Structure 1
Amino acid sequence: MSGLQKRRQQQPVPTDGGFLERPLIESDDIIIDILSRLPVKYLIQLRCVCKSWRALISDLHLVRKHLRRAVTGVNRNSYRLLISDSPFQSIDYEALKDVGVCVQSSFLCLQLPVTLERMSVVGSCNGLICLKGNKGEVLLWNPCTRVTKMLPGIACFYFCPKFYGFGYDSTIEDYKVILGGESTTADGMMIAVFTLKSGLWRTKQYLDSFKLHGQGCLVNGALHWVELKWSGEELRPVLSSRIISFILAEENIVPLPYLHIQSYISIRIGTIANRLFAYLFNDVSLSDIAITVWVMKDYGVHESWTKIIQIPLKSLRQISMNFVNIICILENDEVLMSCDSSYLALYNPKENTLTKVLKTPTNLLTEATMYVETLVSPVIGGGANI
C-alpha cells in the first residue's frame, strides 16, 4: 500500500455536511482519474448517488487533479466569462471563438446566495471569484458548486479601498485577498491581506503612496496595476506610466520596467497565456491606430515588451463604439472586447475586421472576468497545489 493511500485511510474526508469516515481503496485511483475528466456539473450530480460517491468526489486528490486538467486546458469547455451582475451571467469561453454559432444559448444565469450592493469583482483564481460590496463586505464564491464564504469585515481605509486583488500564494499553499488604499490612521498607503487558512486580516503600512485603482491583474504569482502620472508643462503635460506589482509570496511592492511609448492617452493591462499584456489607447489626432497591444514575453524584462496587435480607428468606427475594454486575446489572436457596456465584439487582426458577437441581456461588468469551472472550496481552499 502506498503512503498516499495510507494517509487517505487515516484521514476523514471533508464534505459540506461534515466528515465521512469512508476510507479510499485501491480502485479509487482509477475512478478518480476518470471523474477528473468530467465537467463540474456532472460531478455535482454524481455526489447525490450515495455517501461513498459523495466522499470520493470531495476527496482532495480528485479536486486537485480536476483543477489541473481544467487550468491546463485538458478538459475542454472549462473556462467561462462572467459578464454581468444584474443578475450574474456567464458565457462559455469556447462559444466565443466561433461567431457562426448562437452564443446567446451559451448564457448561464448564476444565483449568488448573498445580497451585496454595488458589487465589484476583486479577482478570480482557480475557479473562485472574490467579490466586494460598497459597505466593505468581501465574499469568496465558487459559481459552479454555489458555495460561498463571507470574510470578516475590516475598517482601516479612508472611505473605501482604492485597489484590490485575489490570488494564490504557492509558497504557503493558500489564497490571499488584497485590499489597498489610504489609511485612516497614518499618512501613506495601507494594504490589508486576508489569508484563507488563518481566516484573519493583516495590515501593512507603506510610506510611499502609489496611485493605483481597481482590480489587480494576476500573473506570475503577483498582482499588477497601472500607475499613471502626468508631468511636464501645465498646458502640454506628458503622460508616463508604470506597472506596479504586488508579489503575493513576499507581500512586497515592485515596479516593473517602464513601457516607453509616446502619444497615448490611456493604458490598461491583461493576461494572455500567463503573460502580461498592455493595451494603449493612442492619440488618434496623431495616428490612425486607435489601440496598440504589447506583451511582456519575459516577465520583468524591459526588452521583452513586444508589439503584437494594432487596431485601426476605422475598424472601431465600423460599429460606432465609444467605450472599449479588452477582455482577453484568444488562441487564434482574435481580440475579445466589451463595447459601450452592452456589447461583446471580436477583432480579427488577420482580416482587420471587428464583429459584434452578442448584445448582453444586462449591462456588462466594468471588469468582465474569466473563471475556470472547478471543485475548489471557498471555505477551506484546497486543490490549488497543482
Structure 2
Amino acid sequence: MSKLPQDIIVDILTYLPVKSLVRFKCVCKPWQLLISDPRFVKLHLKRAIEGNNINRQRLLVAAEPLYSSVDFEAASDGDGINAVMELPYPSAASRTESFAFASIRGSCDGLVCIRNGGDVHDMFLWNPSTRESKKLPKPSSSVQKHGFLTGLGYDSTIDDYKLVIACLTTANGSHQIMAPEVFTLKTNSWRRIQGIHSGITLEGGAGVFWNGALHWLGKQETGADHDVDVIFSLDVAQEKFMGFVPLPNHFCTAVLSISGNCLCIFGKLHPDESYFEAWITSEYGVKTSWRRRYAIPFDRLYMDYFSTEMCLTKKGVLMDHHGCPGTLQLYDPVEDATKLLRVKNNRDPMYDSAVYTESLVSLR
C-alpha cells in the first residue's frame, strides 16, 4: 500500500465500511490523521449516499438490550445470523437511566437523536457506527411530553447539524406549530425560530431529512368528508417552514422514509384496499415524479395498522411494525416470500426504530 499514490489510497478507503476504517486508524499515524480529516469524512459520506447506495444503510432499533443495528442487506441475502447486532450503551447516557421508553427523534448522515426515558428534554446525539455520543442541553421552551415534532438535519451553508423541536398543539387544542427551537451542534445551544399556523394537522414524531429540508406527514383540512394527506417541510438552512405537497394518492396509515437518495412513502391507499404500496420520488414538489415501486398483497404481510419504520432493500421491503412486537419482516416481491427477523427486547414491546447511514461524522 505504501507504493500506491496517495490519491488512490484515499479513493480505496472511502469505499470501506466504518468498522474497518476505525480499526485502520491504528495502522499508522498518517492513516489516523487521514481518516479523522473532515474532508475525508465528507467524501466517505458522499460515497455512502450517492447513487442510491443502500449497502451502508442500517436500521437502528431502540430495544432492550439497548440497541440493535440491523443490516437489512445481509438479511436480504439470507444472512440472518449477522443481520442483527447488539450495540454498546451510549456513553452520553447514564447506565442508571431507563431506556424502557427511549425514542428516536431524528436521523441524518449517520447521527441519530435519542430521547431518553419519559423526559422530553432529556436528549442526546449518537453516532452508532463510531459509538460517539453527546448529551444535549435542555431547550428553553416548555415542550409537552405528547404532541410535539422533532427533526435532525444538515445545513450545508454553514457546515453544521441542526435539531428542531416544537409543540404541535395550543392550550385550547388547536393545531399550530408553537415555540419552535433549533439546536446547532457547533454552538451547542438552542434558539427560537419563527413558528407558523399551518392549517395542517401534523402527525408529530421525527421528521425525515432529505434534500436540505425536514419532512413530516400531515393532513390538510378541506372541510370535505376526509382531509388530504400531505408532506409538510422545513428548510434547514433558512429555518423556515415551507408549504406542503399532496401525496400521490390518499394513503391510510402512511409512513415516510428514505432509501438511498430517494424519498419513500409506504402504506395502504384506502382502508378497504387489499394492497400495501411503496412509492418513491427523487424530485421533491413534482407530483408526477412519484412512482410506485411495489404493490404487495396485504395478506402477505404480518402487519397491524401501524408501522414504525420501513425501508427499501435491493430485493424488497423491510418493515418494523407494532403488529408483531420484536419482529422485523423482509418481503421479496419477486419470490413472493417473507422472512422474519427477531429482535430481542426484554422491556416494553413497543419500541422505536430509524434508518441511518454508516458514517464517520463526528459530534465534536
Residue identity matched to 1:152 = P
Partner of 2:140: 155
Structure 2 residue matching 1:271: 3-state secondary structure: strand
Q: CA distance change for structure 1 residues 55 and 218 in 2, over 3 Å: closer, same or farther? A: same
Q: CA distance change for structure 1 residues 197 and 281 in 2, over 3 Å: closer, same or farther? A: same
Runs (5+) with no aligned partner, structure 1: 1-25, 380-386
Q: CA deviation at 1:297?
A: 4.4
1:251 aligns with 2:239: yes
CA distance in 1, matches of 2:267, 2:354: 20
| Structure 1 residue corresponding to 2:151, chosen from 165, 187, 198 | 165
Q: CA deviation at 1:221?
A: 0.9
Partner of 2:201: 211
Q: CA distance change for structure 1 residues 76 and 37 in 2, over 3 Å: closer, same or farther? A: farther
CA distance in 1, matches of 2:248, 2:82: 43
Root-mean-square deviation (CA, aligned residues, Å) is: 3.2
TM-score by length of 2: 0.81
1:342 aligns with 2:326: yes
Residue identity matched to 1:314 = D
Residue identity matched to 1:361 = K
Given that residues 221 and 248 in structure 1 are in contact (C-alpha distance below 8 angstroms), is that contact kept between their aligned partners in structure 2? yes
Structure 1 residue matching 2:231: 3-state secondary structure: strand
CA distance in 2, matches of 1:298, 1:260: 13
Partner of 1:81: 59
Residue identity over aligned pairs, in percent, reads 35
Q: CA distance change for structure 1 residues 143 and 279 in 2, over 3 Å: closer, same or farther? A: closer
CA distance in 2, matches of 1:94, 1:61: 28
Runs (5+) with no aligned partner, structure 2: none
Larger Rg: 1
Given that residues 67 and 86 in structure 2 are in contact (C-alpha distance below 8 angstroms), is that contact kept between their aligned partners in structure 1? yes
CA distance in 1, matches of 2:125, 2:35: 21
Over residues 165-215 of structure 1, what are the superposed CA-to-partner deviations in whole Å (9 max), with x where a residue is unaligned? 101111211111111115899986221111112222111242405532101
Partner of 2:47: 69
Partner of 1:107: 84
Partner of 1:268: 255
Partner of 1:122: 105
Structure 1 residue matching 2:82: 3-state secondary structure: helix
CA distance in 2, matches of 1:288, 1:149: 45
Structure 1 residue matching 2:193: 3-state secondary structure: strand
Q: CA distance change for structure 1 residues 155 and 302 in 2, over 3 Å: closer, same or farther? A: same
Q: CA distance change for structure 1 residues 364 and 252 in 2, over 3 Å: closer, same or farther? A: farther
CA distance in 2, matches of 1:28, 1:57: 13
Given that residues 310 and 320 in structure 2 are in contact (C-alpha distance below 8 angstroms), is that contact kept between their aligned partners in structure 1? yes
Question: How many residue pairs are counted as aligned between the two chains?
Answer: 342
Q: CA distance change for structure 1 residues 105 and 259 in 2, over 3 Å: closer, same or farther? A: closer
Residue identity matched to 2:267 = L
Q: CA distance change for structure 1 residues 377 and 364 in 2, over 3 Å: closer, same or farther? A: farther
Given that residues 51 and 260 in structure 2 are in contact (C-alpha distance below 8 angstroms), is that contact kept between their aligned partners in structure 1? no
Residue identity matched to 1:204 = I
Q: CA deviation at 1:345?
A: 1.2
TM-score by length of 1: 0.77
Partner of 1:40: 18
